[in-house]
Every structure is written in C-alpha cells, then in structure tokens.
Amino acid sequence: MKHYEVEILDAKTKDKLCFLDKVEPNATIGEIKSMFHKSHPQWYAARQSIRLDPKYAGPLLLYLMFYFRVPFIYAPKYDFTTSKHWVVHLACMCHSFHYLKRLLETLFVHRFSHGTMPLRNIFKNCTYYWGFAAWMAYYINHPLYTPPTIYGEQQVRMALIIFLFCQIGNFSIHIALRNLRPPGSKTRKIPYPTKNPFTWIFLLVSCPNYTYELGSWFGFTLMTQCLPVAFFTAVGFIQMTVWAKGKHRSYLKEFRDYPPLRSPILPFVL
C-alpha cells in the first residue's frame, strides 16, 4: 500500500518540527495529531490546529485570478481589464469574504474540525472546491457576462441581504457550537439557542450551520444569476442534507430528550 510522508512545520517559523513517515492514506488528522503528540507530549491533540489552507485558499485565489482577468483565461484584449457591471465587483467581494471567513474559522473557531477526515478525502475535497470555484468565476467575470435581468437591481439587493444574513448566521452557529464544548474535553451536548438571535433557528433545525450555508449560496446564485452557481448550490445542498440527516439521526440516538420539533436542515421540511 502506498504510504504518505507528513512533514509538520512550525506555523510561525516554518521550522521542521516533526517528520512522520509511513502515514496511511486513510489516516485521519486525529491520528496524525496523536502521532505528533508522541514526539511532542505537551501538544495534546486539541491544541494542534493543522493548517488546511489549500482547501479554502484555493477558491479564494482562483476567483481573484478570474476577477482580475489574468492572461490566458479570456481573449487577450481583455487581459487585466475589469468588468463594467457593479454586481460583478459585489460578487467578488462576497465570494472572497466567504472564503476568508472560512479560513479564519478553521484557524480560530473550529474545534476538532477535520479530525475525522481521511487524507485521501482532502485531495478529493480540494478538487471539488477548486473546480467549482474556477467554473463559477469563469462565467461571472466573463467579458460577456449578463447581470441579473429578471428583477435587476432589486434582485441583487435582496440577494445581498440574504447572503449577509446567512454569513452572520453561519458564523453565529460556529461560535455557539464551539462554546458547547470546553477545550480538550470530549463531552457531547445538545446545542440550544443562545442570546444571539441568529441561533434561535436551533429551535427548528439540528444543523443550522448547513441551513445558513445553503442560504448564503442561494443568495449568491440570485445575485449572479449564473447557472454554474446554481449547480454548485444544488450539489452542496444535496451533500449537506445527507450530512445533516446523519447528524440528526445520531443526535436522536444519543439523547433521549432531543427536541422533537427539530428537522435536520430545513425547518419542517427536510
């Protein structure tokens, strides 16, 4: 079987801290953390945040390349030009904001994130994110892009509101989930609404982070009126629904007093 070699570097100094050879392709980040823990006992697994930059940095940078019309993408006469449509600038800001937020959350907010994701999946994940980002960005930043025609400016305004609302919502949920579990512990608790109104959706839904994520991309689809974006939203919706149903089922199994009103991802519906 093919084995991977994993080099662990200090995030600030980039010094080589540790070299792990013979890491199996289906090794999880959690297992890598415990392998690292063996040689550096003070860094127990939860204190390690392995930088998974490429997955979210890729879409961030790729989109910008299309936005600035870097050569060899569009016809040479358009190199380094910018779109005349203000919605294209807005879309770039929203897309970039979304992935910047995700990058920062991976670094500072999430606990035990990706601890259970096998290495091989990360390559597949990257392909998915990078591929779709490039596909969407190509059309939105194309010289022949057509801004929303169905309801014009109203549509873009509404879409922006939906997008921002869901970004804040998504962030609120991530914070709420992080606060649910004290650092280093493995306790599992039912998430409940907090003082933050964006978390009140916990009353109706088990995985509101997915609900808000779907909402964000739905907003982005309306904003750009671009079929590839609609595809991306649809595929994400299907995947997140599968995950939400699984999470919902495991909540139900684990907690006898789990609130019966909650649905996995869409209130009352799904």
Partner 1 sequence: MSAPAMGTTKTAHSDVAAKKKRGPGALATAYLVIYNVVMTAGWLVIAVGLVRAYLVRGSYHGLYFSIEKPLKFFQTGALLEILHCAVGIVPSSVVLTGFQVLSRVFLTWAVTHSVREVQSEDSVLLFVSAWTITEIIRYSFYTFSLLNHLPYLIKWARYTFFLVLYPMGVTGELLTIYAALPYVQKTGLYSVTLPNKYNFSFDYYTFLILTMVSYIPLFPQLYFHMMRQRKKVLAHVEEYKTE
What mask, x for binding partner 1 by CB under 8 A, covers residues 168 to 207? ----------------------------------------
- Which two tokens mark 61? 């940078």
Stretch that binds partner 1, among 55-63, 119-127, 134-142, 161-169 (CB under 8 A): 134-142
The nearest distance, CB 144 to partner 1, in angstroms, is 4
Tokens describing residue 173: 């949920």
Record the tokens describing residue 144, joined without a space.
């022949």
Q: Is 57 in the site for partner 1 (CB under 8 A)?
A: no
Tell me the two tokens of residue 79: 């190199």
Whether 91 and 223 have beta carbons less than 8 Å apart is answered as yes
Tally of CB atoms within 10 A around 221: 22
Among 2, 41, 75, 149, binds partner 1 (CB under 8 A): 149
Binding residues for partner 1 restricted to 14-53, rule: CB under 8 A: none
Please pick, from the candidates 62, 90, 140, 166, the single residue that binds partner 1 as defined by CB under 8 A: 140
Choose one: 8-16, 145-153, 175-183, 240-248; the region binding partner 1 (CB under 8 A): 145-153
Collect all residues with Cβ–Cβ distance below 8 Å to 242 and sequence separation of at least 6. Answer: none
Length of the chain: 270
Quick one: three-class SS letters along 54-105? HHHHHHHHHHHHHHCCCCCCCCHHHCCCCCCCHHHHHHHHHHHHHHHHHHHH
The Cα–Cα gap between 119 and 31 comes to 11
Total H helices, total E strands in the chain: 7, 2
Window contacting partner 1 (CB under 8 A); options: 26-34, 136-144, 181-189, 205-213? 136-144
Residue choice 145, 163, 212, 220 for contact with partner 1 (CB under 8 A):
145
Judged by beta carbon, residue 1 or residue 150, the one nearer partner 1 is 150
Contact 109, 175 (CB under 8 A): yes
Q: Quick one: 147 or 236, whose CB is closer to partner 1?
A: 147
Which 8-state DSSP code applies to residue 143? T
Candidates 68, 128, 139, 243; binder of partner 1 (CB under 8 A) is 139
Sign of CA dihedral 58, 63, 69, 72: positive
- The contact mask relative to partner 1 for 205-244 (x = CB under 8 A, - = no) is -------------------xxxxx----------------
* Residue 64 C-beta: closest distance to partner 1, Å: 19
Residues that bind partner 1 (CB under 8 A): 139-140, 142, 144-146, 149-150, 224-228
